[in-house]
Amino acid sequence: MRSILPILAVVSAIVLLWYGAAVSMNSKWAQDQAKRADVELSFSELVADTWSQERPRLPAPHQVVSELWKSTGEMALKGRAFSKRSLIFHGWITLSATMLGFVIGTGAGILLAVGIVHYRVMDMSVMPWAIASQTIPILAIAPMIIVVLNSIGVQGLVPKAIISAYLSFFPVVVGMVKGLRSPSMDQLDLLRTYSAGVNATFWKLRLPSSMPYLFTSLKIGMAASLVGAIVGELPTGAIRGLGARMLTGSYYGQTIQIWSALFAAAILAAVLVGIIGLIERSTLKRMGMSQ
Amino acid sequence: MSWVIFAIVFWAMGYWANYKLANGAHSQSRLVKLAVPVIFGVTIIAVWEGLVRGLNVPHVILPPPSSIAERFASSLDILWVDFVQTFVKGALSGYLIGCGSAFIIAVLIDRSPFLQRGLLPVGNFIAALPIVGTAPILVMWFGFDWQSKAAVVVAMVFFPMLVNTVQGLAATDKMQRDLMATYSASYWQSLFKLRLPAAMPAVFNGLKIATTLALIGAIVAEFFGSPIKGMGFRISTEVGKLGLDMVWAEISVAALAGSAFYGVVAIIEKGVTFWHPSQRG
């Protein structure tokens, strides 16, 4: 808890910097407008103007927050939480693709990790490729997957989920292999003296001791899934989802809309990773593994 | 049909060879450790080729590897231009600026425990956010050319690098710092002789994570607008024209560039952190 004060200090420094940057980046437009209207702006007028433009180069924090509130809370209060102008709707579209992809990707990743730990052939042939794939910008395949699946008639949720799935797949494989191998030789030997089979060793030793690694890779996988879903919404001219909000915002110069979509994505990521963190804490506590 | 049979036979042979090698007497030798994944890769490519030809998969869905290779060889000049635009101008310059500034700032904030306690959680938090989303904003600010791509890369690599460097600088233990104090070493002496060298494994961890992020950032930023060259630009336009062999050629360039970039950083790491247990094995 003693780090709350420093964190607050850092966050408020960032907000201050942001307000300052908003003044300097938007002042040119404000000056031009003033010149056209033949008025001289005093400094306080200039600052007020740069913080309240309609299409600023950099919107001030309160503009982003009020736009966020307008497109989420206010719409929900009016009972229109799922109208097309609401970020809850767009967030839900992105979230559903993220979750589907996350479940597929981590599920397949865990299965492959189990296979790799138990079969030498799989270990030696697949593992180097799984590690190498971490250095490859696989996100580049995203537009191709969308278009190819579109051409064979698959649209909407599934292509985005596939992108999310393969982005979360490899980190989970690598993390889980490490986790399932984490029992020490002593522990494995002990189970052998109990004449425990492969099955019993897996359920009673390997799987429980891989839990910390599992949660770490789940967090990475979740963040990667969200990025995948957002990028998956970019190339098709999609009209729904947080990525689409950013894209249409950048087409029409609606900077406040881009920033609010970006913040919605950030909040979504933070909440999702936070939920996994909570599950992690309570699980590890009940298993007696937390420090 | 014969192509399908070829694919199945090749798969069986590859599997058999790998099974023999992996469970054979020499399974721990370096040669076998290298051969098994190579055989696996070759088998995948052969099965891909066989199935695409045998089942008459349309080229607009999945081109066979042979036509990708052909396309790769015949359009080397375009690929080179795209590579220079995206990798050298966008990713590499952004990588150097982002990692360099993060490193310097980490050294600066290391003097203040207050800032450290504040910046580490915030930096960790930001490193988990979907930063690629800033691409449309940065493209709007810095124009379509490589400067905006470099800016996206800077935004993406900055925080992972910062967090890793700050953690690395904290890696020395009290005994070592006390020893430096008994030598009456100044702040700068103990920084250069003890804490920076000790931080290197973590710093290189950050540098390695940043290589992949840099390429991703540069490529994705090009989806939001680009001059008529660049890997991301080529991928998104060729996908629109259904020229999938070109897309795959471009993806192989990205894969090669990514692994080579990572490999170079890993080699430098090996030279710098030769003393670390993970390098001695």
Instruction: Quick: pLDDT tens for A103-141.
Output: 999 999 999 999 999 888 888 888 888 888 877 787 888
Residue B21 contacts A where some CB pair is shorter than 8 Å: yes
Place of tokens 């076998």: B32
Which of A8, A95, A122, A135 is the best substitution to test chain B (most B C-beta atoms within 10 A)?
A: A135
Domain boundaries, chain A: 87-286
Question: What is the model's pLDDT at position B122?
Answer: 85
Whether residue A78 is predicted with pLDDT greater than 80 in this model: the reply is no
- ipTM surpassing 0.90: no
Q: Quick one: pLDDT at residue B91? A: 92
CA distance linking residue A133 with residue B256, whole number of Å: 11
SS3 of residue B170 by DSSP: coil
**CB-CB contact of B173 with B138 (8 Å):** no
Q: What is the pLDDT along chain B (281 residues), one digit of tens a residue?
A: 788 888 888 888 888 888 888 887 777 788 888 888 888 889 989 888 888 888 888 887 888 898 899 989 998 899 999 999 989 998 999 999 999 999 999 998 888 888 888 888 888 778 777 888 888 888 888 888 888 999 999 999 998 899 899 888 888 888 998 999 999 999 899 999 999 999 999 999 899 989 988 998 898 888 877 788 888 888 888 887 888 888 889 989 998 999 999 999 999 998 888 888 777 65
Which residues in chain A are contacts of B61 at CB distance < 8 A?
148, 151-152
User: Residue A266's closest chain B neighbor by CA?
Assistant: B129
pLDDT of residue A236: 60
CATH of A87-286, one of 3.30.70.100, 1.10.357.10, 1.10.3720.10, 3.80.10.10: 1.10.3720.10
pLDDT of residue A290: 66
Give the Cα separation of B225 and B210 in Å (integer): 23
Judged on CB neighbours under 10 Å (0-12, 13-18, 19+), A28 is exposed
Residue A271, classified by CB atoms within 10 Å of its CB into exposed (0-12), middle (13-18) or buried (19+), is: exposed
Q: Interior CA angle at A232 toward A230 and A233, to 5°?
A: 70
Q: For residue B7, what pLDDT is reported?
A: 85
Instruction: For residue B218, give the nearest of B148, B160, B158, B265 by alpha carbon.
Output: B148
Chain B contact present for A61, CB below 8 A: no
Going by C-beta distance under 8 Å and a sequence separation of 6 or more, which residues neighbour residue A281? A290
Is residue A237 predicted with pLDDT exceeding 70? no
B193 half-sphere exposure, CB direction, 13 A CA radius = 13
> Cβ of B117 and A2 within 8 Å?
yes
* pLDDT over 80 (residue A239): no
Quick check: pTM over 0.90? no
**Record: contact B137-A259, CB cut-off 8 A:** yes
